[in-house]
Structure 1
Amino acid sequence: MTAPIPVRYDAFSTRRTARCAVRGPGDPGGVAELWLVLHGYGQLAGEFLGGCGALDDGTRLLVAPEALSRFYDARSSLERHAEATVGASWMTREDRLAEIEDQFHWLSLAHAHYAAQVPADTPLTVLGFSQGAAAAARWVAGSGVPVAHLVCWGAALPPDVPIGPGSVLGRTRTTLVVGDRDRFVTADRIAMERDRLDAADFRYAFERFEGGHRLDDATLRRLTGR
């Protein structure tokens, strides 16, 4: 039998178009806070931003960058793509590190664009939901951009991000949020994550609400202090 010919992969950087869903004041001078909100796996930016309405008090500029990889929902018929649900993903295990780097640069570009439109002292909050929480934490840890508040919702902090006392995240106000009926973030997983963070002397707030793997209006308002 002939031995299989090994396959080599060559990597290239290529131009592509990305998008953000945005809501908030039309006048940049009326912006008191800038929020980057990152959707979960299988969602689109506009859909996710619609669920963040509790944050829109007329003074917050809410920016939802959309992950770079879109796909048809596997539950949709391949013969009915015109009606199929479309979602997006921040990364998969395939070529993982390259996807993480791509998402990092995309988030930096999105932030720079909107930060340039608001006063320089406008505080920045970064909220990541589910898969978007890992993307949010990695960006906050490595971007060099001052972040007033990191919110990781329905997910743990990624284990590859430094959380020690001298780390960026160790100096950043961080809140973990989870629903008491979240089927992905079970009580055992929560306990393991909190043990890991406590062992690293990582300071964080922990919020729970009644519900599943979703956003919650009352909790969103509570995070803003209003």
Structure 2
Amino acid sequence: MERHLTVARTARYQQLGELSAATQRVWFVCHGYGQLAAYFIRHFAFLAEADPHIVIIAPEGLSRFYLSGNGGRVGASWMTSDDRQHEIADHIGFLNQLAEKVLAECPSDVQITVLGFSQGTATVGRWLAQASFRPAHLILWAGSFPPDIAPEAAQQLLQGLPLTLVIGTEDEYISVAQSEQQQARLQQLGATPRLLTFTGPHTLNRELLAQLAYAE
């Protein structure tokens, strides 16, 4: 008979910029499948370098594994199909604890942006449905809002929330047409998402990141 035991463990995250009373903006950015936060956060370095009042926080999935064979490069995952609900709950607990720590060091009116990339889009959606704060902007990049959130909880989160969907025209995992379908589904939940595209594959795009950051 399968049983479960809740244990303490050490979670890892990366940070760019220093939290202080002068912090005006915090970005929480969640990586995709098989990535590590240390490498993912580099895509956002130019934002922190340009603005001393912005801090980038990149949590890392609790499950790490070798990307090929029994050694070499390591990646992280937010969840798999095995024991899924416990993994989801563990990650929501981790992200809530991290947010509490980070936001305690910021002014009460700090502007929060949450970005999920690929597998990270489902993670941030589930997290925010149970988070103690409401972001100023949610960005779902090359992924989808999780369909397993109860409609009532999804509507409560999404109504009135600035929401941006981003997809590369050459993305090998999700098409522009699928993103358009996702946009329509989110509209049915009361959201008003805008859909942005760029020429490129399943990756982040600096020009669009800058556009999103500086439009805030």
Q: Compute the TM-score of the two structures, normalised by the length of structure 1.
A: 0.88
In structure 1, C-alpha distance between the alignment counterparts of 2:29 and 2:168, rounded to whole Å: 18
Asked if 1:54 corresponds to 2:46, the answer is: yes
Contact 1:163–1:202 (CA<8 Å) still a contact in 2?
Answer: no
In structure 2, C-alpha distance between the alignment counterparts of 1:120 and 1:202, rounded to whole Å: 26
> Cα–Cα, structure 1 residues 85 and 211, in superposed 2: closer, same or farther, change >3 Å?
same
In structure 2, C-alpha distance between the alignment counterparts of 1:184 and 1:166, rounded to whole Å: 27
In structure 1, C-alpha distance between the alignment counterparts of 2:145 and 2:56, rounded to whole Å: 22
Aligned to 2:12: 19
In structure 1, C-alpha distance between the alignment counterparts of 2:156 and 2:98, rounded to whole Å: 24
Aligned to 1:171: 160
- Find runs of 4+ consecutive structure 1 residues off by over 4 angstroms: 162-166
Aligned to 1:3: none
Aligned to 1:184: 173
Select the structure of larger CA radius of gyration: 1
In structure 2, C-alpha distance between the alignment counterparts of 1:193 and 1:166, rounded to whole Å: 15
Aligned to 1:29: 21
In structure 1, C-alpha distance between the alignment counterparts of 2:37 and 2:96, rounded to whole Å: 16
In structure 2, C-alpha distance between the alignment counterparts of 1:124 and 1:28, rounded to whole Å: 15
In structure 2, C-alpha distance between the alignment counterparts of 1:132 and 1:166, rounded to whole Å: 20
Deviations 1:54-92 (A, max 9, x none): 322222110001110000013xx42xx2xx000000000
Aligned to 2:144: 156
Name the SS for the 1:142 alignment partner: coil
Equivalenced residue count is: 212
Contact 1:28–1:117 (CA<8 Å) still a contact in 2?
Answer: yes
Query: Unmatched 5+ residue regions in structure 1?
Result: 1-7
Aligned to 2:64: 70
In structure 2, C-alpha distance between the alignment counterparts of 1:88 and 1:23, rounded to whole Å: 20
In structure 2, C-alpha distance between the alignment counterparts of 1:201 and 1:125, rounded to whole Å: 20
Matching residue's letter, 1:135: T
> Cα–Cα, structure 1 residues 85 and 148, in superposed 2: closer, same or farther, change >3 Å?
same
Deviations 1:167-193 (A, max 9, x none): 212232111111111111113422332
Name the SS for the 1:182 alignment partner: coil
Matching residue's letter, 1:197: L
Q: CA RMSD in A?
A: 1.7
In structure 1, C-alpha distance between the alignment counterparts of 2:211 and 2:150, rounded to whole Å: 27
Contact 1:179–1:210 (CA<8 Å) still a contact in 2?
Answer: yes
In structure 1, C-alpha distance between the alignment counterparts of 2:121 and 2:206, rounded to whole Å: 18
The alignment-based identity, stated in percent, is: 35
